[in-house]
Chain A
Amino acid sequence: EAGVVQSPRYKIIEKKQPVAFWCNPISGHNTLYWYRQNLGQGPELLIRYENEEAVDDSQLPKDRFSAERLKGVDSTLKIQPAELGDSAVYLCASSLDGGQGIEQFFGPGTRLTVL
């Protein structure tokens, strides 16, 4: 069974440029998460989707970040414009549903470097 797929794996951009990340969750997983992981830190949730609905985007910096999951399957996270502090690994995860204590499966991440 294929895992969570993310692309690109690496991205280097200059500050003020836009960037987008793509995620395809495990087939049949209704819940999708985007996390940001800074060096030496644990992942921090940015947004969570139940099917196509964003049910928690409280930690998404909405002035520059946006996300969508139009058909309730794959998802895109966008940053516009990027800042130096956005350099991090952006992880996508999915789970069967959003229930308490359910396992989340992570993709390999996109490593973003903003110069």
Chain B
Amino acid sequence: RKEVEQDPGPFNVPEGATVAFNCTYSNSASQSFFWYRQDCRKEPKLLMSVYSSGNEDGRFTAQLNRASQYISLLIRDSKLSDSATYLCVVTLSGTYKYIFGTGTRLKVLA
């Protein structure tokens, strides 16, 4: 089983739709969680950290479920510019090391 698993997609959604991605992790000692965004042929960029209590940044909401070992990303009112690959990142307690998922590809359609 992979340490971090994501549905590769693509998720094709119309503009204005709400879309959600999940990411499961296998190690219960995982400590820190992030969502990175990667545009085609570009570098990954931090979208948001994921906190235990959940957090929101504009149209984006991230949540952590430690009991079921997954994190989620919700995007409301999707824009064409949201089209990208969303990478889930997990670090283990006591380590710096980023473990990336394969990414979920989102296409927002006009």
Q: Which residues of A contact B (CB under 8 A)?
A: 4, 31, 40-45, 48, 56, 91, 98-109, 111
Contact = CB atoms under 8 A, between A and B. Distances in A.
B8 A44 contact: no
A104 B98 CA distance: 9
Contact of A101 (B31, B41, B100): B31
Contacts of A109: 43
A42 B8 CA distance: 11
Nearest to A97: B96
A108 B31 CA distance: 27
A106 B43 CA distance: 6
* Chain A binding surface SS class: loop
Given A42-B87, A91-B43, A102 B103 contact: no
Contact of A45 (B31, B32, B44, B98): B98
A44 B100 contact: yes
B1 interface: no
A100 B42 contact: no
A102 to B, nearest CB: 7
B97 A56 contact: yes
A20 to B, nearest CB: 20
A91 B49 CA distance: 21
B17 interface: no
